[in-house]
Amino acid sequence: MLNTIVELLNKAKVCAWSVTAQKTRGWEFYFIRHALDQNRVRDVEHFTVTVYQQIEDGKYVGSASAELHPTSSPEEAAALIDSLAYRATLVKNEPFTLVPAYEEEKESAAPIDTAAIAADFLSTMKSLPETETEDINSYELFVSEKTTRVLNSNGLDVSDRAAASMLEVIVNARRGGHEIELYRAFTSGSCDAEGLRRELVKAMATGRDRLQTRPTPNLGKADVLFSTKAACDIYYFFLARLDAANIYHKFSDWQPGVPIAEDVRGDKVSVRTLRSLPNSSANARHDAEGSRVRETLLMEDDVPQRFIGSRRYACYLGLEDSFIPGNVAFSGGTHTEEELRKGPYLEAVEFSDFQVDDMTGDVFGELRLGYWHDGEKVIPVSGGSVSGSMFDYLKAMEMSAAQTQYNRFLIPSLTLLRGVTVTGAEKEE
């Protein structure tokens, strides 16, 4: 089918084209408690076609994309390409070039054993320290080998093969006739048994403590410690403001060599892209457009070194060797856990919603579970919210030197934001 698509694209009246072909082969498991309810093999193929058209004698370029079903006939494929060719003329963007052809690195990765990866997940799930009041209700496991091939009209033809896994878990907790369910989803490549076990043990503790919380006090301005996956949104703020698209559209005003803030009193953040992280689902030699992925320092101690992003915006900004980042490490923490846990603070553990706006820096989260450390006692609390601005917090942000991995992100295990507005929960009637 892929050869047919390429042949039709070469004959089409378009100025350029690209195709992404992805094969996914793997297993799906569905458990109730720890009893297998059903399982099945998954073997699917997807083709995404994009065509480009020059407009007004090359002053502009338009593009259009669609997925082509693998069972489509040559006539159906040709009709879709013709439709895309027309739709591309309705879009006007500044011209840019597709990724040029280059010599691909020789494949050296070991074969992907999806059965072994699945077995690692299942043995980890069975090893969890469940109790009469906290246990696993059900879970679904998806383990796949994904092969992705990217071709374009410049002669580019590169491919990647990687493991991709997803585990969805429902955790139950019971206390005094009350019961709560918590949903957890974990995305990875292979199984990080230690990390998965740690997070699910935390989830069971979260369920237990959710059943004995007090309303969050109205703290006004307080220090808030982030110790869970929610902190990834804080660090994504830095990555987004280094993205070429946000620089081009002036959503970010950061500049290479210029510190992102003045009078910084806390830790300074460094950002680096990585080709590989253990168990990550983003381990790849190429990005989604076929650009070569590299280990690159994007920001060092709060000073941007370079911007990065898709081929289109890289061309607009004149960036060399750019790509869409996969794995990213955020570092710069200088503190131990003991140092960050001194004094009164709110530890934010779980939110019903947590957001960090890339453009405005606004931070907002509705608290489901936190722990108010008042200096003497640790009190589980829920309700209320945290809010403020990252542009204020990054000046005094403190981070642990120890790091924790959440799939493609490696971040400080603990992040302390000072002077966060904590609005308390209304008292129950």
Please check whether residue 270 is in contact with residue 403, taking contact to mean a CB–CB distance below 8 angstroms: no
Please say if the pLDDT value at position 429 is more than 50.
no
Domain-terminating residue out of 165, 180, 208: 208
Average of per-residue pLDDT across 168-178: 94
Clarify whether residues 176 and 224 are in a common domain.
no
Clarify whether residues 271 and 143 are in a common domain.
no
Q: Note the pLDDT of residue 176.
A: 87
Q: Note the pLDDT of residue 180.
A: 93
Separation CA 41–CA 59 (nearest Å): 49
**pLDDT digit string, tens, across residues 280-323:** 999 999 999 999 999 999 999 999 999 999 999 999 999 999 99
Clarify whether residues 197 and 221 are in a common domain.
no
Question: Which two three-digit tokens encode residue 341?
Answer: 């846990």
**pLDDT digit string, tens, across residues 332-360:** 999 999 999 998 999 999 999 899 999 99
Clarify whether residues 341 and 252 are in a common domain.
yes
Which residue has 């995404």 as its token pair? 48
Separation CA 340–CA 346 (nearest Å): 12
DSSP classification of residue 95? -
Separation CA 205–CA 129 (nearest Å): 11
- DSSP codes joined into one string, 25-55: EEEEEEEETTEEEEEEEEEEEEEEEEEEEEE
Which residue, 111, 65, 114, is CA-closest to 85? 65
Domain-terminating residue out of 174, 208, 242: 208
Please say if the pLDDT value at position 425 is more than 50.
yes
Q: What is the CATH number of the domain that holds 63?
A: 3.30.2290.10
> Is the model's pTM score more than 0.75?
yes
pLDDT band at residue 205 using 50, 70 and 90 as cut-offs? very high
Q: What percent of the chain has pLDDT over 90?
A: 92
Residues 11, 12, 16, 21, CA torsion sign: negative
Classified as helix, coil or strand, 426 is coil
Domain-terminating residue out of 155, 188, 208: 208
Clarify whether residues 8 and 150 are in a common domain.
yes
Question: Order of strands across the sheet with 327-331?
Answer: 303-304, 296-300, 270-274, 327-331, 409-412, 403-406
**pLDDT digit string, tens, across residues 12-64:** 999 999 999 999 999 999 999 999 999 999 999 999 999 999 999 889 999 99
CB atoms within 10 A of CB 237: 20
At a CB cut-off of 8 Å and minimum separation 6, what does 245 contact?
251, 309, 310, 313
Separation CA 408–CA 326 (nearest Å): 7
Which residue, 19, 73, 15, is CA-closest to 47? 19
Q: Which domain holds residue 249?
A: 215-429
DSSP classification of residue 278? T
Q: Note the pLDDT of residue 427.
A: 58
Clarify whether residues 278 and 326 are in a common domain.
yes
